[in-house]
Amino acid sequence: MAARKPLIAGNWKMFGRAADLGEIAALSEAIGPASGAIDVLICPPAPYIGAAAEQVRGMSILIGAQDCSAVGADSARTGEISAAMLADAGALCIIVGHSERRTLHGETSDLVRRKAEAALSAGVTPIVCVGETQAEREAGRVADIVGQQVRDSVPEQSANIVVAYEPVWAIGGTRTPTLPEIAEVHTLIRTVLAERFGDQANAVRILYGGSVGPKNAAEIFSVEGVDGALVGRASLKATDFAAIILAHPAAS
Ligand code: 13P
């Protein structure tokens, strides 16, 4: 089986303005040929996707979105943005089920799966996020929680997805799981994907996310089964994000 190409994705969340799109050109410059061996993706806020997609023309940086409507068909839904619209604007991937949406917007795994299905129907790769809270980890429920999230959030129809393991307690702070803990959850996720997709599960990239930065990226990338990262804060500045990308063994 061909090796999975690493994917390092930046989730800008609700940060940045049009002027910050200049970071993308700076990133391309800073990573140079590394972007040939690694898929580098930036997910800016929705209003900037079109401009970002224009900006990466001729670069090997990819543009994605952070969320989409679960409804595929054009319809009267004020404020919603469909996966087809995001694809039309230039998004190649859509993050779905990020813990900030699950927690702050009450999104269930069922809704997340429908969003992922909408992305697939629009020809876009969903990046399905899963991860346990601090309390769930302390209660020894990581495998239960993450396993169930994967079963319920991943569409049946296609293995053309990415999964991001983002422990909720590791996001936006300084703490991360230990390397063996990351390895354990990534193995669990692939096992659950294999129950669904058989051998095709081997092609699914599983990213780690939660406080990835220039200092810990190399050790996280060294973990068996980690196919890249989903990066929040450290993706906003080209210098930090480039340092993370260049820390991947495939960059050298
Ligand atoms: P931080 O990298 O800022 O911890 O955020 C991680 C994240 O939520 C990426 O989706």
| Contact (CB, 8 A) for 86 and 62 | no
| Rounded-to-integer distance, Cα 162 and Cα 206, Å | 6
Catalytic residue among 23, 98, 100, 117: 98
**Pair type for strands 93-96 and 162-165:** unpaired
The confidence score (pLDDT) of residue 248 equals 97
Which ligand 1 atom lies nearest to the CA of residue 164? 10
The CA 52 to ligand 1 mean position distance, Å, reads 20
Any idea which residue has 């996020």 for tokens? 129
| Rounded-to-integer distance, Cα 107 and Cα 176, Å | 24
Report CA torsion sign: 204, 127, 209, 213.
positive
The confidence score (pLDDT) of residue 132 equals 98
Pocket probe mutation, ligand 1, options 13, 165, 236, 244, max atoms within 8 Å of Cβ: 13
| Rounded-to-integer distance, Cα 110 and Cα 177, Å | 27
Mean pLDDT of the chain: 97
186 is catalytic: no
Ligand 1 contact via 125 beta carbon (within 6 Å): no
Residue type, 18: A
| Rounded-to-integer distance, Cα 75 and Cα 27, Å | 37
**Is residue 115's pLDDT more than 90?**
yes
156 is catalytic: no
* Predicted structure pTM score: 0.98
The CA 75 to ligand 1 mean position distance, Å, reads 32
| Rounded-to-integer distance, Cα 108 and Cα 249, Å | 36
Ligand 1 contact via 98 beta carbon (within 6 Å): yes
Q: Which residues of 123-148 are buried (b: 16+ CB within 10 A; e: fewer)?
A: ebbbbbbbbbbeebbeeeebeebbbe
**Is residue 18's pLDDT more than 70?**
yes
Share of the chain above pLDDT 70, in %: 99
The confidence score (pLDDT) of residue 1 equals 55
The CA 199 to ligand 1 mean position distance, Å, reads 30
What are the DSSP calls for 94-132, one per residue?
A: EEE--HHHHHHS---HHHHHHHHHHHHHTT-EEEEEE--
Tokens of 113: 């799966």
